[in-house]
Structure 1
Amino acid sequence: MDPKAAAIFRDRGIDVDEKPGLTAAELAEIIGNYDGLAIRSATKVTRAILDASDRLKVVGRAGIGVDNVDIAAATARGVVVMNTPFGNSITTAEHAIALMFALARQLPEADASTQAGKWEKNRFMGVEVTGKTLGLIGAGNIGSIVASRAVGLRMRVAAYDPFLTPERALELGIEKVDLDELLARADFITLHTPLTDQTRNILSRENLAKTKKGVRIVNCARGGLIDEAALKDALDSGHVAGAALDVFESEPAKDCPLFGTPGFISTPHLGASTSEAQVNVAIQVAEQMSDFLLLGGVSNAINMPSLSAEEAPRLRPYMALAEKLGKLVGQVVGEDVRSVDVEVEGAAAELNMKPITGAVLAGLMGTYSQSVNMVNAPVLAKERGLDLREIRHDREGDYHTLVAVNAGTEAGPKRVEGTLFGNRAPRLVKIFDIPVEAELDGQMIYIVNTDEPGFIGALGTTLGAHKVNIATFNLGRRSEGGEAVALVAVDDPITPELSDELKRLPGVLEVVPLSF
């Protein structure tokens, strides 16, 4: 990695060690000493590497592809995985265009022939790219750059990308088509998609047979998108006029069936290999990781919503409130939660809602597992089958800002609401439709009782007998003589024995020790 990355970490006060060339065993042995890991494509961040550290918070990939990182394992451990999707975009797009020209004019073969002392001018009859149809498989960041360059070359561009909107296609000046139509029409095909279960061997033997005879194919994206054996057969038969690969199923590619095939051009994964790109991705990964470790900012994360370093300070009090509300619901309702609605109104409705929702789930799911954070909480919630909704209200309520968590249970909805005092101090304002103002902090007791005279005295006497000091006492009731709620902050944890004794007090319906 370019040394500017380490310089950025050090300039921002983060200790950094540069250790290129580590084996998997060597990395596993030392990874427990680090909060962050910055890598290129050669380092494999496997489940075993992740399991070797309880401290790791973020993995930063200087580049686009993250197939060398076990995303599922990282997410399960609450480790944020970031990449730098824009640092080498232009470089990779330019390499694809260069390979397309090399195929069109047979440049490598013509160069080898000429330098061998031959002058085979009539042998190398090329084709123009002007007026030809370029088929893009993937029209994301890099694909869209290729599209703009191709349009500038007066090519017609047809793109297959399930996520490409008609508006974006119109903006790029390209046509959105399905895969079969692209294969049938394209004179050149270039791939710009990640390697997933859906895209693996997207140019299979069957799909290669659907291509236009004489097509030329370029892949600067990921190995595994093309069936290499089938591509060789298509080149040998003349159905495919030429192919240029910068990436391979197995890298480093030392024994590829395509090597030596007429019409085939190869480069050793050079898509991002320009001095500008190397510097760009190093700077970006260092800045992104520093923002996360120091400020809580999340940029270009694969497994977590983005949160800019500028947003983080403003959102932090809301996230603290949301996590406390989630913890309250999780501890009081327990495992009976079937669905969760996260609602915001007032000033909260103007903010990025994803981190607030993540904090609610982290608090809620933290009651079931000690290793939960905002990264893995949504996954755990999905595994439990929780239905999740985000609701943003434009209305102005009783408070200038409000966050509500509405948990669906078999017994009906359980709703809690909170606000910020002074725009920074989280405060509960309603629990299960009963107004109660309370700070959710430290050790507390949640008590539901019948609203009758003498209860508060009996509660205080019982706690005093166990030498448990009351810090704050917050009360609310549904109606006079009806159901009442007490949230009592205490200086010491509530033992099971004390909890059982409190449950036996006259009029007590429910007792739940809480911890925040």
Structure 2
Amino acid sequence: MPRVLVSDALSTTAVQIFKDRGVEVDYLPEIGKDKDKLAAIIGQYDGLAIRSATKVMAKLIEAATNLKVIGRAGIGVDNVDIPAASRKGIIVMNTPFGNSITTAEHAVALMFAVARQIPEANASTHAGKWEKNKFMGVEITGKTLGVIGCGNIGSIVATRAIGLKMHVVGFDPFLSESRAAELGIEKVELDELFARADFITLHTPLTDKTRNIVNAASIAKMKDGVRIINCARGGLIVEADLVEALKSGKVAGAGVDVFEVEPATENALFHMPNVVCTPHLGASTSEAQENVALQVAEQMSDYLIKGAVSNAINMPSITAEEAPRLKPFVKLAEVLGAFVGQVTEDPIKEVEILFDGSTASMNTKALTSATLAGLIRPQVSDVNMVSAPIMVKERGIILSEVRRDKSGVFDGYIKLTVKTEHMTRSIAGTCFSDGKPRFIQIKGINLDAEVGQHMLYTTNADVPGIIGLLGTICGSRGVNIANFQLGRDRPGGDAIALLYLDEPFPQDVLAELRGNPKIDSAKPLRFDVNGG
């Protein structure tokens, strides 16, 4: 039974979901604040469910010897060292949809509050003043709203703004014209958005490209009297530049829910008369907190029990429905990679993976990850589907995927081709109805070979006596052959043999084979045919 630790405060309903799904769960909501205690026990768990208090950095990940998945109840994963988790093969999930509506509503609320100076007017009225003339606001209707980042939250804000009779312009590098039309917004470049918007709202993650996206230079491009809302991430706005623009009147007001340093107990934006500040409340509604907790429990349980992957930061998604169909082909892909990885000694420069027929319509990202894991495992034993693509990229290996319609007798197959400085090697395989992987082509030579845990691969010229030679040597030395497959490219040309063995091939017998002039090469192989 998989075991999960919940190290931050999470809904008791979410804890029950783990139990109902067959996952053992320890609910210790305070331990996330004590990094030493957490590090001392984390090795016992397969999963870790967190909010924002638990910091999952490299030191903790190193201690997490059994950890397979980290689930963040919320959209932000700033408190997780994703590269370190990926290198360790740990899947990192978040819940990007659970608090989308709540955060979007908070952005709209801040927009109203800034437009009508509601917090200041409220404080003034509570103080017994009646300062109607002091709090002259502006209407929302008919104004242009610029949305930077038109993903889940940004698109909700856009539709709400359209309902308020605003004109919405949006900037997002991944926003297509068709999606913009569907939302009813006008897609523009960033500088045009700055120039046209009366209100600007930020809904983009904090990356190297978006950090400080609102600064003195971009503010100078904006309309005089613009109002800026940030419910996304601290660091998107250069706070000192915003302060100066507010003082000068270039920016008429701002609604800020997130800050460069949090908790923000001191900030230059505080106490400014035209700024509304809230303490990172974007996701702070009872509905949102419950939603993200339930979602992360369901996602983690589905992965630990069924192998389904959803909303992962560092792994292709695999739905619960496709996982059973995909599983045998994931194993096939891993076996193909393992074959090439064990027989290739030179550094690999290029990898091409061909998905033919039915495999082309499968989740090829997952299949590629499995292929790469098998390929480099002979050199890096602790690699898996999460860490393999990163390791391949770090090694500068060129990767390409090809999909094509059915081209042969098989409904679908996978072919792996690798190139080194001196050679090109390929292997193809498929799965039959029993779900077991089979080799169907090696070095362009057709064959049909069942995959076993222990195998021997030999190459030789197509001459008489090879079957007898292999059988005699193995039989005389007590090596039992469970299955024997041969193939050749043409009569008298290149030939190969695959022997399925009961036990690992003895090293002294291997030396004898390699010393025989009829055998060009002989390589023992091992495959994890029973692993997940």
TM-score per shorter chain, which class? over 0.9
- Answering whether residue 181 of structure 2 is matched by residue 170 of structure 1, we say yes
Cα displacement (A) at 1:128? 0.1
Percent of paired sites with the same residue = 58
Are the equivalent residues in 2 in contact too, given 1:32–1:54 (CA < 8 A)? yes
Deviations 1:220-272 (A, max 9, x none): 11111111122112112221111111111111111111111111111111111
Aligned counterpart, 2:164: 153
Check conservation: 2:346, 2:420, Cα contact below 8 A: no
Equivalent position amino acid for 1:12 in 2: R
> For residue 283 of structure 2, what is the aligned residue in structure 1?
272
Deviates more, 1:44-53 or 1:106-115: 44-53
Cα shift at 1:495 = 4.2
Please tell me whether residue 98 in structure 1 is matched to residue 113 in structure 2. Answer: no
From 455, 474, 491, give the equivalent of 1:480.
Answer: 491
2:295 to 284, 288, 303: 284
> What residue is the counterpart of 2:462 in the other structure?
451
> Which residue pairs with 1:200 in the alignment?
211
1:437 and 1:290, CA in 2 relative to 1: closer, same or farther beyond 3 A?
Answer: same
**Amino acid of the residue matched to residue 434 of structure 1?**
I
Write out aligned runs for 1:310-389 (5 A). Answer: 310-389=321-400
**1:4 correspondence with 2:13:** yes
Contact 1:288/1:298 (8 A) holds in 2: yes
Alignment of 1:289-300 (within 5 A): 289-300=300-311
Deviation of residue 208 (structure 1)? Answer: 2.2
Query: Which of 235, 238, 243 is residue 224 of structure 1 equivalent to?
Result: 235
Say if 2:39 is the partner of 1:28.
Answer: yes
Q: Is the 8 A contact 1:235 1:262 kept in 2?
A: no
Residue 393 (str. 1) matches residue 427 (str. 2): no
Q: Is the 8 A contact 2:452 2:501 kept in 1?
A: no
Letter in 2 for 1:46: M
How many Å separate the matches in 2 of 1:54 and 1:471? 37
Contact 2:358-2:406 within 8 A present in 1 as well = no
Q: What SS does structure 2 have at the residue aligned with 1:78?
A: coil
Residue 27 of structure 2 corresponds to which residue in structure 1?
18
- Report the CA distance between 1:423 and its aligned residue: 5.1
Q: Pick from 416, 423, 442: which aligns with 1:405?
A: 416
AA paired with 1:219?
N
Deviates most, 12-21 or 382-391: 382-391
3-state DSSP of counterpart to 1:224: coil
| Worse-matched range after superposition: 201-210 or 100-109 | 201-210
Counterpart residue type for residue 176 of structure 1: K
The TM-score normalised by the length of structure 1 is 0.97
Task: Tell me which moved more, 16-25 or 313-322.
Answer: 16-25
Residue number among 142, 157, 164 corresponding to 1:131 in the alignment: 142
1:74-110 per-position Cα deviation (integer Å, ceiling 9, x unaligned): 1111111111111000000000000000000000000
CA contact (8 A) 1:458 1:505 kept: no
Q: Answer yes or no: is 1:69 the counterpart of 2:91.
A: no
Structure 2: distance between partners of 1:342 and 1:287: 33
Report the TM-score when normalising by structure 2.
Answer: 0.94
Q: Measure how far apart 1:396 and its partner are.
A: 4.2
Number of the residue aligned with 2:130: 119
> What value does the CA root-mean-square deviation take over the aligned residues?
1.4
Residue 500 (structure 1) aligned with residue 532 (structure 2): no
Helix, strand or coil at the partner of 2:345:
helix
Question: Compared with structure 1, are the counterparts of its residues 335 and 63 closer, same or farther at alpha carbon in structure 2 (3 Å cutoff)?
Answer: farther
Q: Which residue of 1 aligns with 2:92?
A: 81
Residue matched to 1:187: 198
Unpaired runs of 5+ residues, structure 2, are: 1-9, 528-532
Give the Cα separation in 1 of the matches to 2:173 and 2:367.
29
Measured after TM superposition, the shift of residue 496 of structure 1 is: 3.9
Task: After superposition, give the CA deviation of every residue in 1:432-484 in whole Å (9 maximum; x if it has no partner).
Answer: 11122112221111111122233333323333444322222111122223221
CA contact (8 A) 2:346 2:421 kept: no
State the distance in 1 between where 2:462 and 2:156 align. Answer: 68
Distance (Å, rounded) in 2 between the aligned partners of 1:47 and 1:465? 53
* 2:276 paired with 1:262: no
- Is 2:406–2:412's contact at 8 Å kept on the other side of the alignment? no
Q: CA offsets, 1:405-447, max 9 Å, x none?
A: 1222334432211111215121111111112211222111111
Corresponding residue for residue 530 of structure 2:
none
* 3-state SS of paired residue (1:507): coil
Alpha-carbon distance in 1 for matches of 2:494, 2:353: 26
Q: Which amino acid in the other structure matches residue 290 of structure 2?
A: V
The answer (yes or no) to whether the contact 1:67–1:195 under 8 Å persists in 2 is: no
- Structure 2 partner of 1:416: 427
Of 259-268 and 461-470, the range deviating more from structure 2 = 461-470
Return the alpha-carbon distance in structure 1 between the equivalents of residues 434 and 137 of structure 2: 68
The Cα offsets for residues 376-405 of structure 1, whole Å up to 9 and x where unpaired, read as 111111112222222221134111221111
